[in-house]
Amino acid sequence: MQGTGHDLLHHPLSASRFSGEKAAVRSRGPSPASSLCEPGFVPPSSMVPSSPRYRAAWSVYHAWESGCADWNDCLNLNCFSEEPGESFQTFGPSEGPNAESVFIAGMFVKYGKDYVKICRHKGLCDEADTAQKAIEQMEKTVMDAGWDGEWYLRAYDHYKHKIGSKECEDGKIFIEPQGFCVIAEIGKDEGLCLKAMQSVEKYLDTKYGIVLLQPPYHRYHVELGEISSYPPGYKENAGIFCHNNPWISIAETVIGRGNRAWQVHPNLSCIH
């Protein structure tokens, strides 16, 4: 969970949506598939063409090949800060194995599908097939190792311990992977998406909005970082965020629960 993996994965979405998919992929640039599939490929900024398609491809494969951070910058799984007043955002990362985010896996599947569509539109069948294979591999990985029985796990920490699992003392369920893994339709046919949304409603929903996690952390966990440094219910430690609540509304529409999607929205609105 180093870097900014979730930011990278917005590039395929932007490329397929901004000014329309056809217009966005019209600019010319070399096909990056062969070089981007090489492990550890990180092109210098001077080598990255202006093509939206190239940036989308670079983003998809870079997120795939590297353990990246995600939206919750207070879940510092490679920091291990024991110094009061030390910045969680700039300290580290630790040496050795990296933590892995199930949330990013969901984003990879969702936005990877957008990238495949771009490639198909451009007639880049080999590149599309390579990306599709990676997507299918990631979907299988999430279903095998990222599903906790009633909801999607949040992550695996530096020690490969589960985060966001019923096995955890605190932080048993998190909002982020429920939203994006359902939006990506991972396990939809198997009923996983519906179960995840039912768990969100059962464990995370309140009259003021959906909290980020439950139950909140009650002591500091050096392997989790800043998220466990806040009092229960404050900020990332089970607070309510306007950013990720809409992910749940969107996810509910994916499984056809439009009424429930609308129920989520008013709780965040000051006019209701």
AA letter at 197: M
Q: Find, among 105, 113, 106, the residue nearest to 132 by Cα.
A: 113
Quick one: three-class SS letters along 222-249? CCCHHHHCCCCCECCECCECCCCHHHHH
**How far, in Å, CA of 15 to CA of 129, rounded?**
19
**How far, in Å, CA of 143 to CA of 130, rounded?**
20
**How far, in Å, CA of 29 to CA of 44, rounded?**
16
What b/e readout covers 61-76, taking b as 16+ CB neighbours within 10 angstroms? bbbbbbbbbbbbebbb
Active site (annotated) includes residue 73: yes
Which residues fall within 8 angstroms of residue 149, CB to CB, at 6 or more apart?
166
Q: Hey, CA dihedral for 212, 214, 220, 222, is it positive or negative?
A: negative
Alpha-carbon torsion, ordered 119, 120, 125, 129, to 10 deg: 80
Q: Which of 7, 73, 129, 170 is catalytic?
A: 73
Question: Is the Cβ–Cβ distance between 203 and 170 less than 8 Å?
Answer: no
Inter-axis angle of helices 52-65 and 10-17, nearest 10? 160
**How far, in Å, CA of 75 to CA of 231, rounded?**
15
**How far, in Å, CA of 184 to CA of 241, rounded?**
21
Catalytic residues, which ones?
A: 73
